[in-house]
């Protein structure tokens, strides 16, 4: 008689609907899904009666830092924050110190993470110095490449769209996706020179207009079409831009952050540097248009752009000196569940935007839904629990948030990674993460 490792029961989001059932888990994988009476016996039972069990959530935009930036975040603190925020997999950005921009640096970073991660982690790389190294890094298991068009990180000059085209030709041939921070460098730097004298938030905001995003996205879409390379546009801030990207279905996808959905640029008055990120918060019309595109199914992914900094780095004499970025791993899901409670989106949209689509876009095998044979990554939520966000309780080292004091409805009750309960709704219990290696899809 088979005895499985554990059984997790509750209201499971299964094949498009919520069903009262149970999941048998064995050896880190989903063994079977069904009524508990029809499942094998188990060593352990976790019963979440009226709670909702979702396929493990995947955050495709996380800066885990570590290395020389360990004072901001480490693999441990970042992946604990992920588990507490309901994420079972995160994809790590390459603007590290040292930059993740060559085969050897990629190997070093992956090796450093081994044995230290509470949830699964996949890694991006910057584009390397030589075109020939692109395939080497892809073969080492990069999930994708990240290109910053707003400022220079590494070898690529962000204004050099001709070189970019050569790289995208290679990436298109290999079948590896390329993620873009799409704000046009030349537009931003001209405006920065113009507004440099304004030391409050307005100078920074005016130097990052929506036109800079529009120009960069347009450029990327043109090059991507010519090179047949799959591109993913990070943190889009307006429905106008989502509309443009959606015309390139099959080639281009996009992501939206909760901060661009739940905050407007007005909060910069009140919160200053705590609400500084790139691209910046926008006005109410952009926010409304963004929600419309989420609701119309044009947005592919919700990702939080978890970008931790020390608290000292979020204050400064001049707004220009303040670091851009906020932690998001522990606020994203509660905010999105609050949107479900308000009827803005459905629970199925959460699964699509935060699990199924991320796994599909980044070719992550074995994740994105609850089915026998897939990895036992599960996010369990209580949709009815009301609470108040308090950044002092974050597992992230970045204990600040523009969402501090927000009343939300919906909380993480438990997070299972590869069959292990890593977070029990109260505490982090154990490490469950594995390193993910990218798969190529040719043609
Ligand atoms: O706000 C941001 N923070 N935007 C970026 O593009 C980079 C990120 C970071 O790494 O801090
Ligand atoms: Zn980022």
Instruction: Please indicate, yes or no, whether residues 219 and 328 belong to a single structural domain of this protein.
Output: yes
Q: What is the pLDDT of residue 246?
A: 98
The residue whose CA has the least distance to atom 10 of ligand 1 is 307
Instruction: Please indicate, yes or no, whether residues 64 and 154 belong to a single structural domain of this protein.
Output: yes
Q: What is the pLDDT of residue 140?
A: 96
The residue whose CA has the least distance to atom 2 of ligand 1 is 325
Index of the ligand 1 atom closest to the CA of residue 323:
11
Boundary of a domain, candidates 315, 339, 361: 361
pLDDT of residue 2 exceeding 50: yes
Cβ of 325 below 6 Å from ligand 1:
yes
Cβ of 125 below 6 Å from ligand 1:
no
Ligand sitting nearest the alpha carbon of 93: 2
Instruction: Please indicate, yes or no, whether residues 30 and 165 belong to a single structural domain of this protein.
Output: no
Instruction: Please indicate, yes or no, whether residues 27 and 89 belong to a single structural domain of this protein.
Output: no
3-state DSSP of the chain? CCEEEEEEEEEEEECCEEEEEEEEEECCEEEEEECHHHCCEEEEEEEEEEEEEEECEEEEEECCCECCECCCCCHHHHHHHHHHCCEEEEEECCCCCCCCCCHHHHHHHHHHHCCCCCCEEEEEEECCCCCHHHHHHHHHCCCEEEEECCCCCCCCCCCCHHHHHHHHHHHHHHCCCEEEECCCHHHHHHHHHHHCCCCCHHHHHHCCCHHHHHHHHHHHHHHHHHHCCCEEECCCCCHHHHHHHHCCCCCEEEEECHHHHHCCCCHHHHHHHHHCCCCCCCCHHHHHHHHHHHHCCCCCEECCCECCCCHHHHCCCCHHHCCCCECCCCCHHHHHHHHHHCCCCCHHHHHHHHHHHHHHHCCCCCCCCCCCCCECCEEEEEEEEEEECCHHHCCCCCCCCCCCCCEEEEEEEEEEECCEEEECCCCECCCCCCEECCCCCCC
The residue whose CA has the least distance to atom 3 of ligand 1 is 325
Cβ of 278 below 6 Å from ligand 1:
yes
| pLDDT band for position 104 (cuts 50, 70, 90) | very high
Which member of 305, 349, 375, 377 is catalytic?
305
Which residues, 6 or more positions from 83, have their beta carbon under 8 angstroms from its beta carbon? 118, 119, 395, 415, 417, 422, 423, 428, 432
Active site residue 193: no
For residue 34, the enclosing domain spans 3-53+373-434
CA 374 to ligand 1 centroid distance, Å: 33
Instruction: Please indicate, yes or no, whether residues 140 and 20 belong to a single structural domain of this protein.
Output: no
Cβ of 158 below 6 Å from ligand 1:
no
Overall average pLDDT of the 9-24 stretch: 98
Overall average pLDDT of the 150-159 stretch: 95
Q: What is the pTM of this model?
A: 0.98
| pLDDT band for position 443 (cuts 50, 70, 90) | very low
How many of the other CB atoms lie within 10 Å of CB of 387?
13
Q: What is the CATH number of the domain that holds 425?
A: 2.30.40.10
Cβ of 238 below 6 Å from ligand 1:
no
* 440 occurs within a structural domain: no
Ligand sitting nearest the alpha carbon of 305: 2
Q: What is the pLDDT of residue 440?
A: 61
Instruction: Please indicate, yes or no, whether residues 86 and 155 belong to a single structural domain of this protein.
Output: yes
The residue whose CA has the least distance to atom 6 of ligand 1 is 278
Q: What is the pLDDT of residue 327?
A: 98
Tens digits of residue pLDDT in 351-395 = 999 999 999 999 999 999 999 999 999 999 999 999 999 999 999
The share of the chain scoring above pLDDT 90, in percent, equals: 98
CA 233 to ligand 2 centroid distance, Å: 11
Cβ of 307 below 6 Å from ligand 1:
yes
Instruction: Please indicate, yes or no, whether residues 47 and 73 belong to a single structural domain of this protein.
Output: no
Overall average pLDDT of the 287-307 stretch: 98
Instruction: Please indicate, yes or no, whether residues 405 and 311 belong to a single structural domain of this protein.
Output: no
Instruction: Please indicate, yes or no, whether residues 306 and 418 belong to a single structural domain of this protein.
Output: no
Residues with C-beta atoms within 5 A of ion ligand 2? 305
Q: What is the pLDDT of residue 439?
A: 72
pLDDT of residue 442 exceeding 80: no
Q: What is the pLDDT of residue 1?
A: 78
Tens digits of residue pLDDT in 304-332 = 999 999 999 999 999 999 999 999 999 99
pLDDT of residue 3 exceeding 70: yes
pLDDT of residue 202 exceeding 70: yes
Q: What is the pLDDT of residue 83?
A: 99
Cβ of 181 below 6 Å from ligand 1:
yes
Mean pLDDT, the chain, integer: 97
pLDDT of residue 108 exceeding 50: yes
Overall average pLDDT of the 63-84 stretch: 98
Q: What is the pLDDT of residue 438?
A: 87
Q: What is the pLDDT of residue 338?
A: 98
Instruction: Please indicate, yes or no, whether residues 146 and 104 belong to a single structural domain of this protein.
Output: yes
Overall average pLDDT of the 139-148 stretch: 97
Instruction: Please indicate, yes or no, whether residues 33 and 142 belong to a single structural domain of this protein.
Output: no
CA 64 to ligand 2 centroid distance, Å: 10
How many structural domains comprise the chain? 2
Ligand 1 pocket, mutate which of 305, 314, 323, 327 (most atoms under 8 A from CB): 305
């Amino acid at each position: 008689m088979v005895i499985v490792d554990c059984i997790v029961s509750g209201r499971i989001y299964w094949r498009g609907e919520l069903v009262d059932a149970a999941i048998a888990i064995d050896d880190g994988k989903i063994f079977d899904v069904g009524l508990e009476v029809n499942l094998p016996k188990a060593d352990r039972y976790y019963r979440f009666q009226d709670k909702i069990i979702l396929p493990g959530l995947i955050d495709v935009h996380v800066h885990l830092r570590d290395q020389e930036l360990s004072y901001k975040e480490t693999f441990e603190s970042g992946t604990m924050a992920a588990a507490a925020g309901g994420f079972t997999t995160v994809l790590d950005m390459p603007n590290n110190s040292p930059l993740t921009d060559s085969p050897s640096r990629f190997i070093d970073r992956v090796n450093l993470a081994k044995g230290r991660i509470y949830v699964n982690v996949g890694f991006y790389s910057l584009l390397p110095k030589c075109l020939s190294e692109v395939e080497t890094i892809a073969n080492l298991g990069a999930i994708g490449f990240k290109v910053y068009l707003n400022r220079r990180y590494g070898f690529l000059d962000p204004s050099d769209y001709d070189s970019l085209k050569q790289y995208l030709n290679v990436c298109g041939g290999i079948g590896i996706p390329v993620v873009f921070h799409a704000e046009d460098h030349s537009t931003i730097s001209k405006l920065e020179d113009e507004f440099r004298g304004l030391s409050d938030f307005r100078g920074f905001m005016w130097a990052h207009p929506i036109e800079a995003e529009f120009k960069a996205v347009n450029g990327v879409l043109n090059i991507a079409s010519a090179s047949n390379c799959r591109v993913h546009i990070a943190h889009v801030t307006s429905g106008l831009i989502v509309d443009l990207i959606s015309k390139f279905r099959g080639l281009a996808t996009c992501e939206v952050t909760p901060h661009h959905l739940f905050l407007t640029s007005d909060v910069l008055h009140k919160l200053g540097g705590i609400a500084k990120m790139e691209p910046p918060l926008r006005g109410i019309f952009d926010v409304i248009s963004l929600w419309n595109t989420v609701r119309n199914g044009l947005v592919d992914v919700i990702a939080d752009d978890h970008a931790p900094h020390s608290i000292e780095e979020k204050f400064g004499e001049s707004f220009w000196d303040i670091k851009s970025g906020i932690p998001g791993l522990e606020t994203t899901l509660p905010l999105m569940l609050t949107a479900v409670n308000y009827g803005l989106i459905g629970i199925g949209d959460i699964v699509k935007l935060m699990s199924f689509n991320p796994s599909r876009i980044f070719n992550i095998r074995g994740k994105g839904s609850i089915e026998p044979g897939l990895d036992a990554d599960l996010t369990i939520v209580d949709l009815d629990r009301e609470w108040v966000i308090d950044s002092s309780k974050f597992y992230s080292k970045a204990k600040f948030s523009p969402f501090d004091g927000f009343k939300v409805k919906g909380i993480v009750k438990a997070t299972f990674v590869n069959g292990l309960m890593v977070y029990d709704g109260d505490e982090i219990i154990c490490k469950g993460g594995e390193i993910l290696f990218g798969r190529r899809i040719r043609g």
